[in-house]
Structure 1
Amino acid sequence: MSFPETLPLPRTRPPMEAPPMRWGILGLGWIAAKFVESVQAQTRQTIAAVGSRSPEAAERFAAAWQVPRAYGSYEALVAADDIDIIYVATPHNLHHEHALLAIAAGKHVLVEKPVALNHAQAAEMVAAAQAKGVFFAEALWTYFLPKFDVIRQVLDAGVIGDILSVYTEYGEYLPREHRIFDATLAGGPLLDLGTYPVSLLAKLLGTPERIVGLATPDPAGVNGQLAVVVSNAHGALGTMATSPYGFSPTNAAIMGSRGTIRFETEFHLPGSFDVWSLDGTRRLRYEEPRGAHFEGLFHEAAEIAWAISEGKRETACRPVEASLSTMRLLDGIRHALGIDFTQAGLVE
């Protein structure tokens, strides 16, 4: 095919037009506050209730964000009959337990990334949701952004041809008191920062045939940093590195047999990217201001509201198979590098 004259437009529907759903927030940490702030400002979704193990924490969060109801237990939150969907925002090692709790109560579920600690947990969650007939998705918000819909169209149209290699990484400075250094919470960067680059490799390269890499332990008893190379059955290569010790470009490049996709800023955030022809003489640009959580999280809430209102049980932006594929790759990386989450209660 010839190189296109223009990029396709994003097919993202207007977030303010998404049918309002009544959301319950399970777990009230940093990401829950970011989610509520973005959703309240830029959609018609209703944050109907919040739940915490601490009644005082629930009341404080509800007061801060003008949420009408606060529950002092997760069980009470998921049992509420005026909530449509539960957003699970607890630490990684509790996603499995809390998603299953909400599913058993008949609630639709959006669970923070990573969806679980391993593939087996994730598969159990997906099976439970399907058996109960409720919606289920992983809140990997990157793939709900308009720019990733444009990238999806570019890839589906074969503009850059067969994918030959993917380069990606994510580094961010995090202080010692951050949960990433807590082994009981499945700490280390792999399931946190690393979910973004690993999910990109899984999306573009599929199941790898080989994984090699190096990992450095941290004195806190978690993995400190790691770098891996993966290859698939077609010989395509992917590289990924992640670290909590400092800020890296957090960028990516997708190289194909006919062209390349290059990101101007952090690949997982709102921002611009370019599509280059194979020889680099023709370039198409998707222009967008750099954004962060406030400018992006609301897209996943709106898309999920659309999906639920249309009777769907998953979303094309982040299908359950994509989440399962990411968990398979995360498992493979852990096993290749000798990383385990036994201190977080994972038994394999």
Structure 2
Amino acid sequence: MSKERNNVAILGTGHIAAKMAATLQQMKDVNCYAVASRELIRAKAFAKEWGFKQAYGLYEELATDPQVDLVYIATPHSHHYEHARLCILNGKAVLCEKAFTANARQAEELLRLAKEHNIFITEAIWTRYMPFSNTIRELVFSGVIGRPHMLTASLGYSIAYKERIAKPELCGGALLDLGVYPINFARMIFGTDIEDIQSHCVKNANGVDLQESISFRYADGNMAVMQVTANCANDRQGIISGEKGYIVVDNINNPQQAAIYDTDHQLVKIYDCPPQISGYEYEVQASIDALRRGLLETPAMPHAETLAIMRLLDQLRQEWGVVYPADNEAAL
């Protein structure tokens, strides 16, 4: 793309859509162009609040607007496939909120369709795009803590009551909403050569997972141990331990600080995240940069990694007996 500013549209008007809108307002490469909701009155109110030019009461109207360059999909997990497919078939580049789809089959179909139509699509797992995530990885392998051996990561919020968590028809549960963060954190730090996965979960009355523990054993002997809960808040920390010390990341969901400790538990140094708008700007900028370069995916979150993680999530849900309606539906 040659033009200076790109017209970005948001499909959906929920909480995360508002956070993205507030971010887009402050980005120099972006025009807050259009928003769509199932109700026109909501779309118009959102557009007025956040300064969007167009408001649509049908998602199809947004997808067919020739002025839209990039669509951010902010609807529930259960609808990502349908809405991303709509955008792809109308030639629109897609930044799709995590989890990418309900299951790996849907992900495979979307990625096949995007490739067939030569359309850009990427998963909006924001930590993958953050420069500070690269800083953390560089620290781990800089030698400052020696050879790393163990990683722990926790994420928890008191959100079990929310519809998007509680209901299987919305692809609810802690795994797709929260579990993707420690899983991505572990794979960003220790890689993908996972030899064995062990896990346990606790489900609600609707049969979706509310909290779980997940352990990865890597081929090189490293281990990653993760805990996720929608029942309560926890420390959200990620800790990478090595032979000479350990690194404490304050919040794996949006890391702002990495503190290095020695083997005597003495603080050695603190690294702070550079100022940011919200953290969402990096996934948007990566998408715009990819579009300008004519790419169909981003180096920060390749399609192969999105698909690998969706297969991993499927594997965990199958072991736990967590089933979504989408699991039994044929692809469109």
* Aligned counterparts of 1:193 and 1:317: Cα–Cα separation in 2: 20
- Kept in 2, the 8 Å contact 1:182–1:220? The answer is yes
| 1:326–1:202 distance in 2 versus 1, CA, 3 Å | farther
* Aligned counterparts of 1:193 and 1:172: Cα–Cα separation in 2: 9
**1:237 corresponds to 2:223:** yes
- Kept in 2, the 8 Å contact 1:85–1:107? The answer is yes
Q: RMSD between aligned alpha carbons?
A: 2.6
What's the offset of the Cα at 1:106? 0.9
**1:272 corresponds to 2:272:** no
Quick one: which of 27, 42, 45 aligns to 1:60? 45
Give CA deviations for 1:107-139 in whole Å, capped at 9, x if unaligned: 111000011112221122122212222221111
Normalising by the residue count of structure 1, what TM-score does the alignment of the two structures yield?
0.85
Give CA deviations for 1:206-257 in whole Å, capped at 9, x if unaligned: 1533222221121344222111222233332221111111110011112346
SS of residue matched to 1:302 = helix
SS of residue matched to 1:234 = coil
| 1:82–1:242 distance in 2 versus 1, CA, 3 Å | same
- Kept in 1, the 8 Å contact 2:164–2:170? The answer is yes
Quick one: which of 53, 58, 63 aligns to 1:78? 63
Which stretches in structure 1 are left out of the alignment for 5+ residues? 1-17
| 1:276–1:177 distance in 2 versus 1, CA, 3 Å | closer
| 1:207–1:328 distance in 2 versus 1, CA, 3 Å | farther
* Aligned counterparts of 2:108 and 2:70: Cα–Cα separation in 1: 20
* Aligned counterparts of 1:233 and 1:133: Cα–Cα separation in 2: 36
**1:111 corresponds to 2:81:** no
**1:146 corresponds to 2:131:** yes
Other-structure match for 1:6: none
* Aligned counterparts of 2:142 and 2:59: Cα–Cα separation in 1: 45
* Aligned counterparts of 1:111 and 1:226: Cα–Cα separation in 2: 25
Other-structure match for 1:225: 211
| 1:242–1:47 distance in 2 versus 1, CA, 3 Å | same
- Kept in 2, the 8 Å contact 1:165–1:236? The answer is yes
**1:179 corresponds to 2:159:** no
| 1:321–1:345 distance in 2 versus 1, CA, 3 Å | closer
After TM superposition, the structure 1 stretch with the greater mean CA deviation from structure 2, 127-136 or 181-190, is 127-136
| 1:282–1:135 distance in 2 versus 1, CA, 3 Å | same
SS of residue matched to 1:199 = helix
What's the offset of the Cα at 1:175? 5.8
Other-structure match for 2:302: 319
* Aligned counterparts of 2:148 and 2:13: Cα–Cα separation in 1: 40
List, as ranges, runs of 4+ consecutive aligned residues in structure 1 with deviation greater than 4 Å: 154-163, 256-259, 275-282, 344-348
| 1:114–1:346 distance in 2 versus 1, CA, 3 Å | farther
User: Aligned residue pairs: how many?
Assistant: 327
* Aligned counterparts of 1:158 and 1:84: Cα–Cα separation in 2: 43
* Aligned counterparts of 2:302 and 2:111: Cα–Cα separation in 1: 11
Give CA deviations for 1:297-342 in whole Å, capped at 9, x if unaligned: 1222122212211222222222222212221221222122222223
Quick one: which of 57, 64, 83 aligns to 1:98? 83
Q: How does 1:7-26 map to 2 (within 5 A)?
A: 19-26=4-11
- Kept in 1, the 8 Å contact 2:259–2:270? The answer is yes
Structure with higher RCO (Cα < 8 A, 6+ apart):
1
Other-structure match for 2:290: 307
- Kept in 2, the 8 Å contact 1:168–1:239? The answer is yes
Other-structure match for 2:281: 298
Other-structure match for 1:4: none
Normalising by the residue count of structure 2, what TM-score does the alignment of the two structures yield?
0.88
* Aligned counterparts of 2:302 and 2:149: Cα–Cα separation in 1: 24
**1:199 corresponds to 2:217:** no
SS of residue matched to 2:67 = coil
The letter for the 2-side match of 1:131 is E
Other-structure match for 2:317: 334
**Aligned sequence identity (%):** 31
**1:208 corresponds to 2:194:** yes
| 1:290–1:82 distance in 2 versus 1, CA, 3 Å | closer
Q: How does 1:154-169 map to 2 (within 5 A)?
A: 154=139, 163-169=148-154
SS of residue matched to 1:41 = coil
- Kept in 1, the 8 Å contact 2:150–2:222? The answer is yes
